Amino acid sequence: MKIPILYIPKTKYKKFLHIEKSYYCEKKIIPIGCDCHPAYTLQKLNIRKLSLPFDWLNTDPIKGLKFVYENLENNFIYFIEDLKVNSRNHIVSKKYPYAEFMHEKNLIKNKSDRIKFERRINRLKLLLKNDTFFLFNITSESLKSEKNVSDFYNSVLIFKNKMKKNQTLCIYIRYDENLNENEPFCNTLFEKLNNLKNINITKYIRNKSKEGIWGNKKYYPKLYKSLGIKIYLTFPKIYLK
């Protein structure tokens, strides 16, 4: 909701009072890819309060969980080492050429950007001491074969075995327009993951052609509910803009 507060005639100067619904979760929710969508949903629900290392990266969806558990296991020593610019003009590391730093144009030369990621990594380490939901989305587009399903499923099993008892991996299969997209392979993955302990999975349609790449934010609470993540309304975010 936005309420007009100030308008100066014959100019473009306008100010609105914005009132946005805000939510909180008793557990920590950590977005881990495969792209920016999980972090964006947290931000729009006003749950996201801290920047973390995996927030705005774009990884190969099938290898996305592998990227996360390997970095957690090796203490991020290769995360921002031996960086280069790939053919898509995004920065990647030598160890993980399939993980793009989408919004970091100066990461190679700018020491302050590297320090920024070190701070995010340290924040994540502290958060992992709490009860935790890991939030990951895999695209229906990426599930094109039985091998894709098998490779991703195996990465889930490895991730699961590395989790602590107070941690849950929440995965949503993200469809652009409808559930027919790579339907046999998406359904196979869903069925294989649906009964695993500490793994919550759901299907989510973002209606890209109508709503854009982020989907409609009013459906985010429903998405979280379907993942078994309990969020609660709290005091709204109010600001002038």
Tens-place pLDDT, residues 109-154: 989 999 999 999 999 999 999 999 999 999 999 999 999 999 999 9
Residue 129 forms part of a structural domain: yes
What is the model's pTM?
Answer: 0.94
3-state SS class at 226:
helix
Instruction: Give the residue numbers spanning the domain of 158.
Output: 25-77+104-233
Q: How many domains does the chain have?
A: 1
Residue 183 forms part of a structural domain: yes
**CA pair distance 107, 115, nearest whole angstrom:** 10
Tens-place pLDDT, residues 47-105: 999 999 999 999 999 999 999 999 999 999 999 999 999 999 999 999 999 999 999 88
Residue 61 forms part of a structural domain: yes
Q: Measured in Å, how far apart are the chain's first and last C-alpha atoms?
A: 12
User: Residue 82 gets which letter from DSSP?
Assistant: S
**CA pair distance 36, 56, nearest whole angstrom:** 5
3-state SS class at 188:
helix
Residue 182 forms part of a structural domain: yes
Residue 18 forms part of a structural domain: no
Residue 128 forms part of a structural domain: yes
CATH of the domain at 163: 3.40.50
